[in-house]
Every structure is written in C-alpha cells, then in structure tokens.
Amino acid sequence: MEDGFKWRLSDEQLSVATHVDGPLLVVAGPGSGKTRVLTERIRNLLTNVPGHFRVLALTFTNKAAAEMKERLADLGDVRERAFIGTLHGFCLEVLSERGKFVGLEGAPNIFEQAKDRQEVLEKAITEDPFLSEKLADITDSKERKRRVGKWLSAISYVKSHPVTCAVIEDEEVQRVLDAYNAGMQACNAFDFDDLLLLTYKLFIDNPKVGDIYRRLYKFICLDEAQDMNEAQYAVIAALCSGSHRNVMMVGDPRQSIYGFNTSSPEYMERFGQDFRAKRVQLMANYRSSRAVVNFAQTLDPNYMVDQQLPIPGCVRVLRGADEKNEAVQIADELERLFLEGHPDVEGGIEPGKCAILGRTRFALLNIEAELKKRGITFYKRLSANHENESEVVDDFLIALRVMANPRDLLHLSALAKRWKVGTPDTSDDFLTTIRLMASEADESRVGAVVNSIAAVAKKLSRLDLMPALTVLEEHADALDEADRLAIYEDVAVLRQEWDQFLRSATGTRSLPAFLSGKALGAVQKTSREGVALLTVHSSKGLEFDVVFMAGMAEGMFPDYRATGAKERAEENRNAFVAATRAKRLLYLTYPMSRVMPWGDIRRQAPSRFLTGAPD
C-alpha cells in the first residue's frame, strides 16, 4: 500500500483499512473518520487483493452510498466490482435476479406509502369474516381506526422479526397477516419489510442461491451497524451461512436512534459474539470543535475522545419568548453569520454550511415561515420522498404504477376516484383503459396525463420518460403562474430522478426498475442548496459547520411520549446525534412559551439536555 495512504490514516484507522481476512467489528464514534476508513478498506480490497470477486458495501442511506462511490470514482472500472448501496437496495437486486424461487417475477412492485398498505389491509378485513366481526364489535370509529393501525404495526413487527416470530401463536395476528399478504399478492405488490423477509427466505430455503452470492461477494462491509434490526441481521447471517467470515461491521451504539423501527445496537454486539470478530475502536473526533465535543460529553459522560481538533468553536443557547420569536432569533443569527462569518469557519458562512434540526417537523414550522419571509434559501428533508405540489404529476405517477403493474387495482381505483369516474373495466390494455376513463372525466388535467402516458408507452422496450415530462410542462404553460410553477417544480424533481436512474442503473432500464428505485429513494438528488431544515432522524450521517437544535424544551426534545427508560435513553441518543452533526458552531434554541394545539399558552421548561450547556 502506498506511503501517502498510510500517512493519511491513524494507526487504528490503518489497521481497519488494511484488514483483509476474518470478521471485524469497528466501534467508531462521531467524526472518527469511519466513512473514510470504510472507503479505504474497499479501495485496498479491490486494488491489492488478488482474485475474481466483488465487494458488498452496505450503507444506511443512499446519500452515504453516493458519497462512497464518489470517493472511489478514481478507480474507474475497478469500482464496478463493488456493490455500494443500502441493504434494501441489495435485496431488491437479489429478488429482481432470483426472486422466482420465492414467487416473484421481475422487479418487485413496492407499496412504500403507509396509506396504500392501510387500504390493502382495510379491504382485506372486509373480505375476512373473522376480522370483520372483530372490527364490527368496536362501535367508536376512532377506536376502529386505532385497531387497524395496531394491526398494521403487528404485521410490520412480525415481518421484521423473522426468527423470533417464525411461529405466531396469536390467532388474530396470524389472520391479519394472512389477510394482508393475500391483499398485497392480489395487487402483485410488496412492502419494504418484504424485501428483507423474502431475501432471508431465499437464502435460507435455497442454499445453492446463497452459495452463488457467497462466491460472488468475497468481502462484506456494513456501515451504521448499530441501526440493524432482526430482519437485517438475519439477511446478513443467512448470506454468510457456513464458512463465509469476511465480514466487517462499523457502528456506534451511542448513535442508535431508530428503535421505533425495531432496530437495536444488540445486533451489532451479537455479530461480535456470533462471528468472534476482531474488535477495533476509533475514538478520535476529527469533525467537531472542542466546544461541541464538550457538550456531547455532557449528554453522554462515557463518550471518550483520545484525539480532537484544536479548534475552540462555540455552543450557545438562544431563548425565544415564544415559537415565533425563537424563529426570529435563529434567522437573525443566520443573517449575522452570513454577513460577518466566524473565525472558526474557513471561507465564510453561506446557507449550505448551515442546518436547523428539530426533534419533529412541528418544531420547524415557524422557522420555515421566517426563512421564507426573509428570502433565506433552504430545503427540507422531513420525509423520504419528494411530495408533489401538483395534481397532474401525482396522477402521472399513479398511472405509471398501474402501467408497470397491471394487477395494481388499488392505484387504478385511486386514479378513478381522483378523476371522479366509475371503476374501469380492466380487460383492455392500460392505455386503452386510461383513455376510456379520461373520456368520462371533467378534470382539465386528464388529457395531459393520458398524453404523457402515451408518450411513455411508445418507448417501453427502451424506457424514456423525457417526452412524457415535456408533455406535462406544455400542459403547465397554459395555466396561471402558481399552478405552472408547481408543475415545473415537480417535473424538475422527476427529471433529476430520471437522470440519476440512468446514471446508476446496472440492469434493465424498465419502468418497474425506475419505480422501485424511486420507492427506495435511490434516484433522489443527494445534495441540495440552502440551509438544511431537517428532523434529527433525517440528519443522520450528515455534518454542517453551523447547527441549530431547535425546540429544546421539555416535551418537545425530549419528546413527551418518551416515558419509559428505554425511550428516554433513545431520546438522549437523539440529542447526541443531533449535537455531533455540528463541525464548528452549535446553537441550542427553545421557546419559553408555546401555543398548544388546543389554543392555550403554556410556559416551557428548558430541555434537560441543556443542563450542560454554557449560560
């Protein structure tokens, strides 16, 4: 390995990057360079280890995968020997290639939206006398809705625990699961949990298929291991069944914040025990200033740092009279920083170097309004996918779903409802069906949707969405400014997603493949301009020179629902993750009073997490 490579890494980092054979568990704190170490290990395996093999590098987010690919771009064609993506993305590829062994044909059609899964379950309930009766016994409509929600949660829990829930003793849960699965099967659709569950079953029930992937991927690297759940660990364990032991997991139990998705750092520790992995700790922090590190240590006194930057930085508390005043103070400070800069931030401070984090999106509502009022550029990432502002683009995407999956009567019915037409006859091809629906509709946008779908249909064998997007823009040109801008913005996002799909697509350029990638967030633009307005969970893996943690009041952060010891511990980790996104400056803000949803004004106590903050 070249000398320059060695000089760039610490001894601990180098031991990880040059590790070749055998299981390895790396406990890496925030800012310890784990992404660099992971990337350099992949580089070392691809360039210095002889043999015909591929590397499987699994990241937590598509953004992390894109960053890793960019860092390895200088390898040229050699980089193609590594699959770099999320575990769900890998499972999608496996099922698209060999899903026939578990009853799939082609790429799975994914129902990623909760409302779609709920509709599938509600329809399934009406067709099951046992479940219908259970629901009919509940007279209160809100309670019935809660019961359906509880059943949906039970379905997800069972699917995400394929080992502990291999046998279901609760008859009601089993009936709900069977009814839901039958409903999904009728639509030829799958949910996110199915991607993991079916891949696990594929490897377990078909050892020869598992052998193919074990021979193909000689080395496996998994990032953010503290956020694995049972299903994710089960997939990795099934893939490594037998003698495959060249597995590396990197994570930090202090940053485990996805307990609501049944993830737990216990699976990271279990890997260490099950695989008897060599353990390496990366305890430096090359990201954050001394002030930020000191504050992080007040959140977790066990957080030890053996090396850190010689940059002082600062941590400040801003107290607003109420939510609006809190927003004003944040905007004031941002504008001051843009104008004056800060000695600890090189090259001045611009919007792209700043982020405002809220425990939930509600903590950011007044801040968003204030940024808009002042014309401060910002972007939001409060949910996984772009939410369309225009009905015509929504219609177009729903129609694409049905075009890709003719058995998807759920979305066909949704389109009919949006157009206020009767349930269509599905005996014809989809283009004929949608034209018949359009002939009955009064909505002005319908013609544009039909014409855009017809443009896609012309080139299905070599899919091209660009002509369809042009049709939508031409429709927008005849509308007033507000409607036109909404369509143009939604189409611009679709263009970016289509371009990303073309650049990253490795298999067939098909409509199901594009829609699956869109559902998994794999075709999203990974970088945006302006101040980042993020929930704590969507900030995971990111870093900014300036971070504002907003809404730092009791009941807001920590969240009022965190009543048990387990939930309180996770809230503490949430605060730790949020604080360590800051590279130089950290602001902790809260409103001293707040208008409650029912209209009362209530005094707010500062968050317990501010105890260690400077006055």
Nearest to 610 by CA among 581, 579, 565: 579
Residue 332: enclosing H or E segment and its boundaries? helix 323-340
CA dihedral sign of residues 573, 366, 610, 335: positive
Q: Tokens standing for 462?
A: 């070599």
SS3 164: coil
- Locate all alpha helices (DSSP H) within 102-224, ordered by sequence: 114-126, 129-136, 141-159, 171-186, 192-205, 207-216
CA dihedral sign of residues 550, 554, 559, 565: positive
Residue linked to tokens 């707010």: 604
Q: Answer yes or no: is 65 a known binding residue.
A: no
Q: Answer yes or no: is 34 a known binding residue.
A: yes
Q: How far from chain centre, in Å, is Cα 328?
A: 30
Q: Answer yes or no: is 526 a known binding residue.
A: no
Per-residue DSSP letter, 554: T
Which phi-psi region, left, alpha or beta, contains residue 16 (left: φ > 0; alpha: ψ -120 to 50)?
alpha
CA distances from 12 to 26, 279, 284, 387 (A): 10, 11, 10, 43
Nearest to 189 by CA among 402, 339, 341: 402
CA dihedral sign of residues 144, 146, 152, 157: negative
> Rounded to an integer, what distance in angstroms lies between the CA atom of residue 225 and that of residue 57?
12
Q: Answer yes or no: is 33 a known binding residue.
A: yes
Query: What is the SS3 assignment for 203-244?
Result: HHHCHHHHHHHHHHEEEEEECCHHHCCHHHHHHHHHHCCCCC
Nearest to 292 by CA among 524, 30, 529: 30
Give the contacts of 113 (CB within 8 A, at least 6 positions apart). none
Q: Answer yes or no: is 426 a known binding residue.
A: no
Which phi-psi region, left, alpha or beta, contains residue 322 (left: φ > 0; alpha: ψ -120 to 50)?
beta
**Which amino acid appears at position 436 of this protein?**
L
**Which amino acid appears at position 418 of this protein?**
R
Residue linked to tokens 């930020």: 292
Q: Tokens standing for 177?
A: 């699961």
> Rounded to an integer, what distance in angstroms lies between the CA atom of residue 255 and that of residue 29?
8
Give the number of other Cβ atoms within 10 Å of residue 72's Cβ.
Answer: 19
> Rounded to an integer, what distance in angstroms lies between the CA atom of residue 162 and that of residue 154?
13
Residue numbers belonging to the annotated binding site for ATP? 28-35
Residue numbers belonging to the annotated binding site? 28-35
